[in-house]
Chain A
């Protein structure tokens, strides 16, 4: 696994590749994808020997965000890939590339109502059959946040005004993160 080459390939497929400090967030890279590049990205990851750790959805505005987590068997490289669903809550499936995504996608369909196009058997997995439209993990209006509200904030130079937030909880300055933001 050549990480520099991989990064270049990721950049070709994605809108942004962001390196993150593992000790703060527990993963190494953050890749933002367009919806139609998800399948290409998954195929690339499988080819490079990554396994699918997890697939989940986060309900934010403007659209539900689907997060794919990959890791590698040989070296520590934990990658989060994220993409927004379209207006019909649709998303291309990757269950023919990563068969393990099959159940994760069914579960995401249960909980968030994300429809994975071309999924072989998009049938309720965890929820009962009659709860197919329940979508329990969707936020209601009052709790729904914008996507920027749940993104990591770049460290601010000014001291935090609120006293109860500890100063040490803030993520430290990360040169990589700053660099990639410039790129994007």
Chain B
């Protein structure tokens, strides 16, 4: 197979090729990685993408801008609302639509719930990669509460299409507020349990410390963003760096690590749960009354000619939509910059010379969502 030109069995150097995926249990979807091994050490890695490619960018060029909203949720099934948010913001920015304040609050609350949901799933699945079977069930137990809350307001459980250009599709009610507050309390009370069972565990510490170390410079070269970057000590979060929506009004910290290894990004993600809870609490406290939709959104939304960019902080890093418009209601070109794509591209460098077990833990720390990479 010509794809394997770079990675070939080399009996002289005692090297051989291991094909990981696309059905390997720890590649989380249809990612394939070719590993050139020497003993159990991975000397070369070659990720092979494209098994889940669904031509989202091509689809976008063929239908009105507003109709692309459901597709955004399918790119990253774990951060669907945040992907909605980025796209809605792109069109609002491009068409100059003002969004009511209540909508911004609702968007922030639901987006943060979505982020917690995504982090909880990663938490469980990562521990599953590391061989602990139980935490995923505990994380799903908590996650299920979020799904119930979001189902009640958005109508779906995973691929939400909730945000609209200029608003949201359904208003939140008192039931949402009380159940969200109850959830915030519940998740807080579960943190000590996670701390005991997982975070402090000596086996986990040994598995993650000093594995897959990154530096800020490496992150810049590869365009790595999100918790991995924050694990290296750079407090770069789109919610702070380019405050979109109403994030500038909230008081929250950006957790950072120091070493940039798997443990650092692990703890960054874990602490982000708490920060997201804080944002949700503040947003619930300040939730204003008002309409949930801008009245003046035209049915056929024409975007003035030019190029527009919208960046938001997805659970895995920076998500950017880049729209080139020729003045019609159909995008001339829509490019989606997904965080996992850039994050995964570091794997050949990061995992060089690692043990096979460490490759698994390093790739798990990237929190890969393959449909997001393949689009």
Contact = CB atoms under 8 A, between A and B. Distances in A.
Contacts of B6: 121
Contacts of B241: 73, 76
A49 B220 contact: yes
| Chain A: interface size category | 35 or more
Interface in B203-254: 216, 219-225, 229, 234, 236, 241-242
B39 to A, nearest CB: 25
Contacts, number: 161
Contacts of A52: 220-223, 342
Contacts of A51: 219-221, 223-225
B96 A168 contact: yes
Contacts of A74: 236
B95 A69 contact: no
B305 interface: yes
A76 B96 CA distance: 21
Contact of A46 (B220, B326, B349): B220
B242 to A, nearest CB: 5
A150 B326 contact: yes
Given A100-B345, A166-B298, A152 B307 contact: yes
B324 A58 contact: yes
Nearest to A110: B50
Contacts of A121: 6
A54 B320 contact: yes
14 contacts: A24-B308, A25-B307, A26-B309, A52-B222, A53-B318, A54-B223, A54-B322, A54-B335, A58-B333, A59-B333, A73-B234, A98-B223, A103-B341, A145-B332
Interface of A: 22-27, 46, 49-54, 56, 58-59, 67, 69, 71, 73-74, 76, 78, 80, 97-100, 102-103, 111, 121, 123-129, 136-137, 145, 149-153, 164-166, 168-171
